[in-house]
Amino acid sequence: MEPGDQQTVAGLDAETFKKVFRLHPAGVCVVAFDNDGEPAGFTATSVISVSADPAMLAFSIDSGSSNWPGLSRAETVAVSFLSAEQAEVSARFAARRTDRFTGGGWHRLPTGEPVIDGAAAWIRAAVASVAEAGRSRLVVLNALEAWHTGRPPLLYRDRTYVRLPVESDLQPIAQVNARQRLVSDAPADSGAESDTRLLPPTDPA
């Protein structure tokens, strides 16, 4: 199958599919952009690493989302990776509301993209391509610059926000060599430990 080709087959039912991903923990991000001078954004757990060289990432968004029209016109976005203390921020940006930014707790980068204060990290990126995927759109990004801290991430599993145990309580199962590919069918240069994130608690409006 060539890039851009789509194939739809009858297969797994939607409820079973969603249950599998509900039980799979995912990091929580806020994707934000400038929409005709106003900040816009939404919560997403669909952010994935695509390639390390060149640095690329991607996320999905429902084509019926209230954010899609503005996002479809955006040339750049900022992806804020939320920290463990920011469950309220995630809930605010996932809600059916238009005043997500009025509570403060964010700032614009010099280039104009909104980022969340207190996030564990952020990446500023340019939109590289958009592909249809069912009723969603898969947005692929070229990473332009990044900032990160040592803050632990916010996770989402089974409709619940969770956090990693404190570092002293972590129990490693296996050590992964930096050159070892953790997922056999992952791109060799992706730098990703997991290449699937779907069904975010994202803007349903």
Q: What is the pLDDT, as a whole number, of residue 184?
A: 41
Residue 57 lies in a domain: yes
pLDDT band (50, 70, 90) for residue 101 = very high
Q: What is the pLDDT, as a whole number, of residue 180?
A: 55
Residue 147 lies in a domain: yes
Query: Which three-class secondary structure state does DSSP give residue 93?
Result: helix
Say what the pTM is.
0.79
Q: In this predicted model, which residue has the larger pLDDT, 94 or 184? A: 94
pLDDT, tens digit (0-9, with 9 covering 90-100), for 39-87: 999 999 999 999 999 999 999 999 999 999 999 999 999 999 999 999 9
Residue 152 lies in a domain: yes
Contact 34, 161 (CB under 8 A): no
Residue 63 lies in a domain: yes
Rounded Cα–Cα distance for residues 96 and 105 (Å): 19
pLDDT, tens digit (0-9, with 9 covering 90-100), for 152-178: 999 999 999 998 876 656 666 666 665
Residue 119 lies in a domain: yes
- Say what the alpha-carbon torsion angle 118, 121, 124, 129 is, to the nearest 10 degrees: -120
For residue 126, the one-letter residue type is: A
pLDDT band (50, 70, 90) for residue 94 = very high
pLDDT, tens digit (0-9, with 9 covering 90-100), for 5-22: 555 556 889 899 989 988
CATH of the domain at 23: 2.30.110.10
Of 87, 124, 85, 117, which is closest to residue 101 (Cα–Cα)?
Answer: 117
Of 96, 134, 129, which is closest to residue 18 (Cα–Cα)?
Answer: 134
Rounded Cα–Cα distance for residues 83 and 155 (Å): 9
Residue 177 lies in a domain: no
Residue 58 lies in a domain: yes
Rounded Cα–Cα distance for residues 84 and 87 (Å): 7
Q: What domain range includes position 127?
A: 14-161
For residue 160, the one-letter residue type is: T
Query: For the chain, how many structural domains are there in total?
Result: 1
Of 142, 165, 162, which is closest to residue 154 (Cα–Cα)?
Answer: 162
pLDDT band (50, 70, 90) for residue 179 = low
Residue 167 lies in a domain: no
Mean pLDDT for the stretch of residues 28-40: 96
For residue 171, the one-letter residue type is: Q
Burial class (CB in 10 A: 0-12, 13-18, 19+), 148: exposed
